[in-house]
Chain A
Amino acid sequence: MRYSYQRRTCAIARAKMFPKGTKRKFSDSREEPVAGGEDVNQSSLAAVRMLSSYSLQRQSLLDMSLIKLQLCHMLVEPNLCRSVLIANTVRQIQEEMTQDGTWQIMTQALSAANAAAQCSADRLVATEVLCRQTEAAQGEQVPKPFPVVGSEGCPAEEVLEEEEEAAAAEVGMTMSTVSPQAPTSYLPGTFGMDPCWEEEETGEDDDDDDEEEEEDSEECGSGSEGEERERDSLVEDTRTAEQVFGTFEIKNPAPSPDPALEELFSDVDASYYDLDTVLTGMQSVPKMGPYDLLESLSSHGPSPLSSSTSCRSDLNELDHIMEIIVGS
């Protein structure tokens, strides 16, 4: 693929074809005939095809990058440099897509598919997260049709703190939050303390153990009821998608379906965590990628099952989400 070459040619074609501000239909990238008032002459068609091809390639690069960030089934800490470079690439693509309007189209399409599949909003988190990246970067008003799956019980600041202070390590969240299928994997109702999480617990200081558990419950508890509520309302989440780097922090994944517990621990403050040891850690679990785009939002929402069980299903889910994202 010759990105630079096509980019140049596409830029030229784009300038001719679409006046600034005109939104291209998402279907363009699916190689469907361009509808609307453009002149369908030979050169336009060629340009459109080139643009579609470029968009497809760009989309596939985005998908590839997301997979790379998430597919880290390793026992060793993933390479931080590699993760940073991939995340920067994702950001770059997303900025460009937002600039030419494809981003909004894609997120709308995903939202429709999401509603149809009755999936958890987790999947949309990916786009939501990336949308927020743009917003942070450009100050644009990016439409945010999907509520952030966050902790209903927590005030925004606390949510921010949790995120920043490595409240939880999501195990298996990566895949499950992306995929629209198998809702049982991530419905907050599913309770499963994954072994890795437990392992992590034993490794923590005794002081932190209690608080961690509280925090887990808090996060999980918000899930079941929170999810429905959040679908209806837009949760103000001050965190940006840059929190992919938050995934370097140890996070507590344990989902808990008990809303009572959530209330009980809803005002737990996570600031006691030692920033240096906890924050700078990479994902502790083989399943977790260093950048868990989705996890950064869903960490305050329903957490999926333990990694061990969802390993294979995650891969299926990944395929599924890829299909949807690519729009096949």
Chain B
Amino acid sequence: MAGVAGVNDFQWCFSQVKGAIDEDVAEADIISTVEFNHSGELLATGDKGGRVVIFQHEQECKNRPNLRGEYNVYSTFQSHEPEFDYLKSLEIEEKINKIRWLPQQNSAHFLLSTNDKTIKLWKIGERDKRAEGYNLKDEDGRLRDPFRITSLRVPVLMPMDLMVEASPRRVFANAHTYHINSISVNSDHQTYLSADDLRINLWHLEITDRSFNIVDIKPANMEELTEVITAAECHPNQCNVFVYSSSKGTIRLCDMRTAALCDSHTKFFEEPEDPSSRSFFSEIISSISDVKFSHSGRYMMTRDYLSVKVWDLNMENRPVETYQVHEYLRSKLCSLYENDCIFDKFECCWNGSDSAIMTGSYNNFFRMFDRNTRKDITLEASRESSKPRATLKPRKVSTGGKRKKDEISVDSLDFNKKILHTAWHPKENVIAVAATNNLYIFQDKIN
């Protein structure tokens, strides 16, 4: 991978788009999470209809050595169904909030998928052989008349068309009173954490009827509630460390060795507020929507409404880097509050070498920042720029004054086209961008 090249040195090209082209988007088809597995071979998406679709990277085509292989559908299954909470007379959405892959340990693949209340462990396995020549039953499965069996034979494994089966292996339910916003597999490969608005639970992958509550910020009087948990993640290589972010723009790092209940943090990350920019919306836009450790484990990245911040775990009082995603929206906060867009939860992701970060914006724009060169680029996921191997053209939003050609003005932005979920291949320059019901895959042109 090009570690030295900056984001502007990449030539991002359109590779594929998955999903219907219709203008009328069915609510159930809206993609709600995107995640590559640890090798990058598989790409999973979850949608509001509770379905999981897994794409597999095909081997490179020999005819076109410049092109990386494509991602094709590998498996589709219904992970969660809508439920009804009879006690509260409320529906429980089947929307998949998060998918997290387990590290691969054998030929099968495992992933955790969660909706608001229940986490499920799915096994995705391949079957390409079938046993033939049973003694007691026919090829179509009918039982043979035992009196007509005159000889014994050993069943033989015969090749068959590849079948990919997804089966639920564990269901982790009834542990969350509030809506689950995060799940994160621990580096010990045995435990994982799940976080809702007020609590974080630690599970063992094998045990479904119990979980440890390790963080509980529910106040004794719900009246006093002013802060909720917005995201949580396990450290990539220290299995005793995890972080969780809050709606007040703070991040707490906890060490599970210190106490059974990690209500008191080990580290507390908060940037002091700039008093000159204080407004009624300051708290809302400081609410952190996503937190991600770097692959190295030395940094973490947080996404709030207008910016992405990179924190050094050794420095709590301010981030080491801050990137403005769409600062031009700062003057529109009241309108965005009115139409609820201010509550949109954008995610962010690192590239494999931690040299670049990516996050989404409105109008189907997404942004990439190079940490070394400090350059940034805005790209668009749209059908118009979806010609095979077409290089994506950088986009620009004009921030007032004269609008140059090819620039788009802030008032023309489509706030219904939001890119909340993006994913970066762990090893290569391949990115997946979810735009409502479409999944775009872009690749860097191999030189």
Q: Which residues of A contact B (CB under 8 A)?
A: 1-4, 7-8, 57-58, 61, 64, 68, 75-77, 79-82, 84-85, 87-89, 92-93, 164, 196, 199-200, 202-204, 239-240, 242-246, 248-250, 276-277, 279-282, 284-285
Contacts and interface: CB of A to CB of B under 8 A. Distances in A.
Interface of A is mostly: helix
Leading 7 A-B pairs by shortest Cβ distance: A242-B223, A245-B222, A203-B86, A284-B89, A3-B279, A280-B177, A281-B88
B284 interface: yes
Interface stretch (B330-338, B346-354, B399-407): B330-338
A204 B224 contact: no
Interface string B74-109: 000000000000111111110000000000000000
Given A250-B88, A280-B177, A79 B343 contact: yes
B63 interface: no
B177 A64 contact: no
A246 B228 contact: no
A143 B17 CA distance: 62
B278 to A, nearest CB: 6
Contacts of A245: 221-225
Given A75-B90, A79-B179, A203-B87, A85 B224 contact: no
B421 to A, nearest CB: 17
Contacts of B343: 79, 81-82, 85
Nearest to B283: A88
Interface residues of B, number: 41
B415 interface: no
Contacts of B333: 3
B447 interface: no
Interface string B281-317: 1011001000000000000000000000000000000
B89 A76 contact: no
B87 A243 contact: no
A82 to B, nearest CB: 5
B226 interface: yes
A88 B90 CA distance: 25
B284 A204 contact: no
27 contacts: A4-B277, A68-B340, A75-B91, A77-B90, A80-B197, A81-B228, A82-B340, A82-B343, A84-B225, A84-B226, A84-B247, A85-B247, A85-B284, A89-B284, A92-B280, A164-B223, A199-B89, A239-B223, A242-B221, A243-B222, A245-B221, A245-B223, A245-B224, A248-B222, A249-B222, A277-B177, A281-B177
Contacts of A81: 197, 228, 230, 247, 287, 343
